[in-house]
Amino acid sequence: MSFFVKTNISECGGFEKFLSEWRIGESDLILTNEYVLTPQLDGKPSPCDVLYQEKYGGGEPSDEMVDAVLEAIESKKKQNGKDYERVVAIGGGTVIDVAKLSVFGEGLRCQEIFEKGATLPRKRRLLVIPTTCGTGSEVTNISIVAFKKKQTKMGLAIPALFPDEAVLIGDMLRTLPYEVFATSSVDALIHAMESHVSPKADVFTRTLGEAATRRILKGYIDLADASGSKAKTLPRELQTFLTASTMAGIAFGNAGVGAVHALSYPLGAIYHVPHGKANALVFKAVFEAYQRLGADLSPLEEILSDILNCPRPAVWEKFFELVNRILAPQPISELGVDENKCAEMAQSVIQGQQRLLNNNPIPLSQEEIETIYRNCL
């Protein structure tokens, strides 16, 4: 067993306080979104240079977006005649995963970083303020990028990608659109649950995974109770979701995530579905396959039975009923997926996602993966 948390984690009462306590100044560069930073600055100027990620590409990180941001950092550096000591990523998984690839300094591009990452020296420190409640990227050593030509997402996991500091500020989430709250919190829930059933799970990852699962589901139950048949407003307890997603990040950073993530990557890359939603599309079918194939999910089922206040045989039905109230389910046929595409995607998962498939509680063959996709049509 080996359990590791590299990133220093702090809670901070607000953004202004963060700027002064962390002495953000001229040797720093903020990478963020304009609509995330502007409400926080409240009319005041930024104390350091800022790059807005949305100017370099839409949606989630692609190799093209990463290259455009790296080029922009280099040209800003040339203009100013100085390098940046710290990069401050303020955003969701997209901003954070792009910022992680900027720690190596000049002259490198995404493909090269993915190929040589483990041998590259690190040149900058990385501070992260997550503004969604999902990825846990603020505490993981992973960056996930869609490679356009390969039509799938790939994850790079190397020690240099651990942020130095994660600063949790619940107020940063108040501008989140409901849909992003829903997709990102479902992503965190899946991190907690996939890491719980992973063969690499240990008492530390399971404890954090359980705590995250309890917080998120309790939050969902309150939200569903308060908002009738379909929840559409942000919960008041955003800090609870934020803490839960960081806990889930530590759990999966150590024990890994498995088939839900592996099967969601082609959907995200080909059909441009946000990461949390792509996961949600295959979540139920993957866990049904685990049950069908006899995986031992009993420790997780005990926890769900307690949270959902129902006997163990009823947990999965009750669990997905609740998740569906937060994020409406959708058949993947509505994205344009057909039976041929299911076969193609199953092949690409087997070829490209062994890093994740190794974390399944039970092995899945290519035929079984294809069946899972078909069950989602």
**Where on the chain is the footprint of ligand NAD (CB under 6 A)?**
33, 35-36, 60-61, 91-95, 97, 131-132, 134-137, 140, 142-144, 172-173, 175-176, 180, 183-184, 187, 275-276
With beta carbons less than 8 A apart as the criterion, state whether 163 and 88 touch: no
Nearer to ligand NAD, 102 or 131 (CB): 131
Please choose, out of 180-188, 201-209, 317-325, 366-374, the segment that lies near Fe ion by the rule CB under 5 A: 180-188
Instruction: Give CA 134 to chain center in angstroms.
Output: 5
Which of Fe ion, ligand NAD, none is residue 35 near (CB under 5 to 8 Å by kind)? ligand NAD
Nearer to ligand NAD, 184 or 305 (CB): 184
Strand 152-157 to 142-147 pairing: antiparallel
The helix/strand/coil state of 258 is coil
Closest CA to 32 of 54, 64, 12, 3: 54
- Name the minimum Å distance from CB 311 to ligand NAD: 32
Which of ligand NAD, Fe ion, none is residue 92 near (CB under 5 to 8 Å by kind)? ligand NAD
Sign of the torsion formed by the C-alpha atoms of 99, 105, 107 and 112: negative
Rounded to whole angstroms, the maximal C-alpha distance in the chain is 65
- Name the minimum Å distance from CB 251 to Fe ion: 12
Q: Which two tokens stand for residue 117?
A: 């990452």
Nearer to Fe ion, 72 or 276 (CB): 276
- Name the minimum Å distance from CB 136 to Fe ion: 8
Q: How far apart are CA 26 and CA 45, in angstroms?
A: 13
Nearer to ligand NAD, 275 or 325 (CB): 275
With beta carbons less than 8 A apart as the criterion, state whether 279 and 182 touch: no
Residue 187 touching Fe ion (CB under 5 A): yes
Q: How far apart are CA 210 and CA 121, in angstroms?
A: 36
The helix/strand/coil state of 17 is helix
Which of ligand NAD, Fe ion, none is residue 136 near (CB under 5 to 8 Å by kind)? ligand NAD
Q: Which two tokens stand for residue 108?
A: 């490198």
Residue 268 carries which side chain, given as an amino acid letter? G
Nearer to Fe ion, 138 or 187 (CB): 187
- Name the minimum Å distance from CB 354 to Fe ion: 17
- Name the minimum Å distance from CB 307 to ligand NAD: 23
Strand 86-91 to 28-32 pairing: parallel
Nearer to Fe ion, 60 or 187 (CB): 187
Kind plus residue range of the DSSP H or E element containing 196: helix 178-197
Binding mask 246-285 for Fe ion (x = CB under 5 A): ----------------------------------------
With beta carbons less than 8 A apart as the criterion, state whether 47 and 23 touch: no
Please work out the total of residues on this chain that contact Fe ion, with binding judged by CB under 5 A: 1
With beta carbons less than 8 A apart as the criterion, state whether 132 and 92 touch: yes
Beta bridge partners of 168: 11
Which of ligand NAD, Fe ion, none is residue 24 near (CB under 5 to 8 Å by kind)? none
Kindly compute the dihedral angle of the four CA atoms of residues 101, 105, 108, 109, in this order, to the nearest 10 degrees: 30
Name the phi and psi angles at 345, rounded to 5: -65, -40
Q: Which of residues 34-93 bind Fe ion (CB under 5 A)?
A: none
Nearer to ligand NAD, 95 or 304 (CB): 95
Which of Fe ion, ligand NAD, none is residue 99 near (CB under 5 to 8 Å by kind)? none
Nearer to ligand NAD, 266 or 276 (CB): 276
Which of Fe ion, ligand NAD, none is residue 97 near (CB under 5 to 8 Å by kind)? ligand NAD
Binding site for Fe ion (CB under 5 A): 187
